[in-house]
Amino acid sequence: MKHFFTLLSVLAALSALSAVEIVKNGKAAAEIALPEKPVSSVKFAAGELQKHIQLITGVRLPVTVKSAPRKLPNRIHLGYGTAPKNKNNHAWRVKAGAKDLYLAGNDTEISSKNLACPERTMVGWCVSSSGTLLAVYDFLDRELKVRWLRPDDGGIYVTPSKNISVKAFDRESAPGLMTASFSYSTISSAKLWHDKKFGVRHSLQTKLWGIRHRFVDCNWFHKGHAFGNWWERYGRKHPEYFARLHDGTRRPLKGDRSGKRITMCVSSPALMKQIVENYKHGYGPKGKFKERNFISICENDTPGMCTCKGCRAWDMPEFDPNGADYWKNKRVPTNGERFSGFGVDEGGSYSYDKNSLSDRYARFWLETQKALSKIHPGVSVQGYAYLNTVLPPRHVKLNSNILVGYVGTPFFPLTKEKMAKTRQEWDGWMKTGCIMQFRPNTTWSGGVYPLQYWRQLAGEYHRILQQPRMRMVHFDTFRGEYATQGPLWYVLARLTYRSDLTVEEIADEYFNSFGRAGKYIREYFDFWEKSTAHVTTEDIRKMEKELGWTFNVWNNWDICVKLFTPAHFAQGAAILKKAEKAAVTAREKESVKFFQLGLEHARLSELAAEAHFKKVHNDTPVNRADFDKKYKTVQAFRKKHERSWISNMELISRKEPGGFRRSVPRNKK
């Protein structure tokens, strides 16, 4: 037995000798060494490594260059020394030995034009090669257990320690998806903040938060609705590019002044010819086409409408006009009616199974990919499974050069029935042989309110991430309601890189980060989840009937005003009071205060929205004055707490008035 313990002691000593000491007893034991001429992302990576190690230990590591003699016993080699075998432009390798830690990846410098603007610099790192920067985040994540719960320093959670040492390991990796992104606010919207400097910081820190979660582009990608400016460019000379409506015209819908939502005549040879010509002369970085380059031919933000013989010939034989007013009664909708006229319901299930145009558009994607492949054999094209193309085609098979962005994931409530249908649709597309992008609009739901649907959405996302032909994700939008929907944003971002974790494991990371208060913060979010879990599609219909309008992407937070009562806010406040009493450290107390501010913001916003509803239904001087008073109160609260990060105050203040305009009885439209 004595010899056994002696052996254990020797093994422990050898293990300690193989560990790279970075900080020991509150003092630097390692220095960061850079190449002689590091690219911008590597220099930034050094600052990020310094920053996070200082947050953990209070020690700021010195930075030197690789040719300089060592001043400390251990060295972190950043941006050189261990090139990954993977040729992915964001691939990285992290390796630790006895006295050396290597964090390196595939790196290239971005253009000087991008370097001139901080936001463009970060965008450049996302689409260029910044493997070393991602190596740093991988190291901080896996070895040091750093958690980025939300943007800015207040969202970084670490375990304080006076010592950091890393045992020997060697790991190579790369982003799991070709593209991962949110729709962020940009610095151009900074002018809409009261504190414009903070508006710039908000945009940059939000983008950085995405990079920390490895939201990058591994391929250049021409994205999104593809024909938004085509009416302006070609409408006068080439009306044949555009959908023939039931009245025989080819034009934008009434109310669409810009023509951005006009739909296309996808069977038109002239349209195909123009797409090919544009591809020859403008698509791709500097007009160069790289292997597996992507081009979007996604329809505009409108259901397909073309009635010409060519397009109708591409439809499935089972096509039945019943169920959609446009096809059955041949009534051309206005721009504002373009969804309802096709049986498209953003608040619930879809009702156009037999008048789907998916076969038509799948044929269009295939024909386009075939034509473009004669110019560039590796080209892939993207289409959207969206509106009346959300169902998989019945007769057309696709291939791996067709990327389908699935936009069918429903808005709240994400009931079992709706999620079963969206799963069936997704799996149906997968069976066509295409590759897939997860492209939900779901995250618009909830506004500033504590509406909880993160488990349902994250559960489906986790399932999708396990599928081999899942290649890209884009969440539209990133509302940034960290104080009322914090688990949603963290779990979605975390899953994107760490799909090896379960949703509940990631939730544990989130709530455990709040220390002694975490138990009650979990209880707080569980309370709001239970308060919304019972809502059905029929309940939504009832709410719409009571209010007199239909919920859509811009006013779906009106659900919360009908759903939550003063009693809900009082009970939520009581749970956070328990968290406040449990909090001991300054950080724990700050966290509780953060969620309390979010709850108060939601409560004041609901009071203003209720006053708005009352004014709409009974527009008297008294009701107008009441709404003005309550809306001024919430606006003053937003201005006072603008820098708190509880909400993207610029986004909600910009979108909320538009939601109010849409929240009017149908007979007043």
Per-residue model confidence as pLDDT tens digits over 428-476 = 999 999 999 999 999 999 999 999 999 999 999 999 999 999 999 999 8
Nearest-CA neighbor of 431 among 393, 466, 405? 393
Structure confidence at residue 667 (pLDDT):
55
At 548 the three-state DSSP class reads coil
Q: Which residues of 548-580 are buried (b: 16+ CB within 10 A; e: fewer)?
A: ebbbbbbbbbbbbbbbbeeebbeebeebbebbb
| DSSP per-residue codes, 374-440 | TT-TT-EEEEEE-GGG-SPPSS----TTEEEEE--PPPSP--HHHHHHHHHHHHHHHTTT-EEEE--
How would residue 345 be classed by pLDDT, with cut points 50, 70 and 90?
low
Which range among 300-309, 491-500, 621-630, 651-660 shows the weakest confidence by mean pLDDT?
A: 651-660
Structure confidence at residue 149 (pLDDT):
98
At 178 the three-state DSSP class reads coil
CA 343, 344, 348, 352 torsion-angle sign: positive
Structure confidence at residue 287 (pLDDT):
55
- Would the pLDDT of 286 be above 60? no
At 11 the three-state DSSP class reads helix
Instruction: Considering only residues 358 and 8, tell me which one the structure prediction assigns the higher pLDDT.
Output: 358
- Nearest-angstrom CA–CA distance, 562 and 435: 40
Structure confidence at residue 586 (pLDDT):
96
Q: What is the mean pLDDT of residues 186-213?
A: 94
Structure confidence at residue 16 (pLDDT):
45
Q: Write down the H helix ranges in 18-87.
A: 40-57
pLDDT digits (tens, 9 = 90+) for 510-534: 999 999 999 999 999 999 999 999 9
**Amino acid of residue 135:** A
- Nearest-angstrom CA–CA distance, 84 and 92: 6
Q: Which residues of 259-298 are buried (b: 16+ CB within 10 A; e: fewer)?
A: bbbbbbbbbbeebbebbeeebeeebbeeeebeebbbbbbb
pLDDT digits (tens, 9 = 90+) for 569-597: 999 999 999 999 999 999 999 999 999 99
- Nearest-angstrom CA–CA distance, 435 and 14: 49
Structure confidence at residue 280 (pLDDT):
85
CA dist list (Å): 29 to 25, 32, 53, 75: 9, 10, 12, 8
In CATH terms, 22-146 corresponds, of 1.10.1060, 3.30.379, 3.60.21, 3.30.1890, to: 3.30.379
Quickly tell me which residue has 């709706």 as its tokens.
Answer: 418
- Would the pLDDT of 7 be above 50? no
pLDDT digits (tens, 9 = 90+) for 607-650: 999 999 999 999 999 999 999 999 999 999 999 999 999 999 99
Structure confidence at residue 653 (pLDDT):
84
pLDDT digits (tens, 9 = 90+) for 111-150: 988 999 999 999 999 988 899 999 999 999 999 999 999 9
- Cα 333 from chain centroid (whole Å): 31
pLDDT digits (tens, 9 = 90+) for 320-332: 988 788 999 999 9
How would residue 669 be classed by pLDDT, with cut points 50, 70 and 90?
very low
Q: Quick one: how many helices (H) and strands (E) in the chain?
A: 22, 17
How would residue 92 be classed by pLDDT, with cut points 50, 70 and 90?
very high
Instruction: Considering only residues 225 and 5, tell me which one the structure prediction assigns the higher pLDDT.
Output: 225
Instruction: Considering only residues 90 and 17, tell me which one the structure prediction assigns the higher pLDDT.
Output: 90
- Nearest-angstrom CA–CA distance, 313 and 336: 28
How would residue 20 be classed by pLDDT, with cut points 50, 70 and 90?
very high
Structure confidence at residue 346 (pLDDT):
47
